Amino acid sequence: MTQRFFDDGTIAYLEQNGCTVVQADLPEGQADGNLSHDELTGALAGAAGWIVGHARVTRELMAALPALEVISRRGVGYDRVDLQAAADLGKVVCIAAGGNDASVADHTIALMLAVGHRFRETQANMVAGNWAILIGRDLFRQTVGIVGLGRIGRSLVQRLSGFDVDILVVDNKRDETFAAANGVAYVDLETLLRESDYVSIHAPLTAETRFMFNAETIAKMKKGAVLINAARGGLVDDRALLDALKSGHLAGAGLDTFLSESDPQTKAVTEELIRLPNVIATPHAAASTREGLDRTNLVAAQCVVAVLDGLTPPAACVVADGRKSAALERN
């Protein structure tokens, strides 16, 4: 395991299922996404299973680890894993589907409320001795646009029901039964941008969705709207977002992910964004509650045990399975 914050219950589960558990000794404040190729190969030498956080799982890395059978992400994103290489090399890649949906949906609501009610600006003023009241905005009876109605998007819909909002959704797949039961209206992206007071992104990062929120699309958002991104940094061109916030086109933003996570050259943009008084920022921490981490730890561990026992994890957890192609090659 190269991720921090692993609970004793999940370690016991792995040991009870015949695994020898080795935790990487990471310095305080360091995540596995900062480990080099050599550090990873050294830590993973001889390992059959790997529970990973944010490390880049490249073809070169997997080729250097012939004993490695399963890579299990403690999370649901897999844009840092070369899935084709995993399949080619006979590896299985899993995600902890369902483990952190509730935590991220809760965090999203928190970002909406914090931006709308101007918590950061108000507290900063109070610390400076200025107790003047800043006028915020309700989430109640607003229009909320959700881009991506997967597990987290659906959890968000359930939480929004108590705010009596109108919900607009953009998703390639339409679940009309869910929509009818939850008062959701499927629309095109342009309609969602034009009509939503809050826009929350919950789409995966792919070649097609990268920078789906750019200067052009952000300009189409309702003036005074709030943008929430608790999905992936590359979905939003943070440079365009910064311009829209500074110009006043957008009222604020709640950000848990940033472009600089994958593109260090944009670090200065991130630093300017998080200094803005109308931005509430967290360091990709939406899923990091005690309960959420315990759930995702266990799902990730269950996937490892299933693969090492020659079984197949739940379909929602498997994003690449190279075992069939490897068996064919052996034959």
Maximum CA extent, the chain: 75
Q: Which of 54, 80, 107, 261 is catalytic?
A: 261
Q: Are 223 and 199 contacting, i.e. CB atoms less than 8 angstroms apart?
A: no
Q: Which of 73, 118, 232, 295 is catalytic?
A: 232
Residue 261 bears catalytic tag: yes
Residue 69 bears catalytic tag: no
Would you give the distance in Å from CA 126 to the centre of its chain?
33
Strands 250-255 and 49-52: unpaired
Q: Which of 284, 295, 323, 330 is catalytic?
A: 284
Catalytic residues: 232, 261, 284
